[in-house]
Amino acid sequence: MVYDGDGKRVSEAVGGVTTKYLVDTLNPTGLPQVLDETVNGAVTRTYAYGLQRISENQLISGTWTPSFYGYDGHGNVRFLTSSAGTVTDTYQYDAFRRLIALAGNAPNSYMVQRRVVGQRRPLQPARAVLQTK
């Protein structure tokens, strides 16, 4: 993993594939937010934000596929919807915010608020957790 001078992750290599992150630090929340992920110089995933992450648009099998986040009161992602509003994925957590069940197969890097899940470290330790399915 590579971090910039401010301690923000700007790239990581997993299994010989390097992913670079375009991070925006000038936004309404005042916290760093990942806008784009690139692999081999090509954008593979983009994110849209308001005061929290609203959606991601990712390249799946050569097609750009949007997903929209649905949150609970703690800021954990509980579901993803398609652009038609259909729920495509759901997530359930225990009282300690550990993922205990998921349904659906959309790749989603951000699920749990403020908790490290799995082996990968968060991009923004105080806000979001990076997790792979």
Kindly tell me if the per-residue pLDDT of 21 is higher than 80.
yes
Kindly tell me if the per-residue pLDDT of 123 is higher than 90.
no
What residues contact 82, with CB distance under 8 A and at least 6 apart?
Answer: 66, 67, 68, 88
- Please report the sign of the dihedral spanned by the C-alpha atoms of residue 13, residue 46, residue 84, residue 80: positive
Nearest to 121 by CA among 21, 12, 29, 31: 12
Kindly tell me if the per-residue pLDDT of 132 is higher than 80.
no
Per-residue pLDDT reduced to its tens digit, 71-111: 998 888 999 999 999 999 999 999 888 889 999 988 887 87
Average pLDDT across the chain, whole number: 84
What pLDDT is stored for residue 51 in this prediction?
Answer: 83
Burial class (CB in 10 A: 0-12, 13-18, 19+), 129: buried
Give me the number of domains the chain comprises: 1
Structural domain for 41, as ranges: 2-130
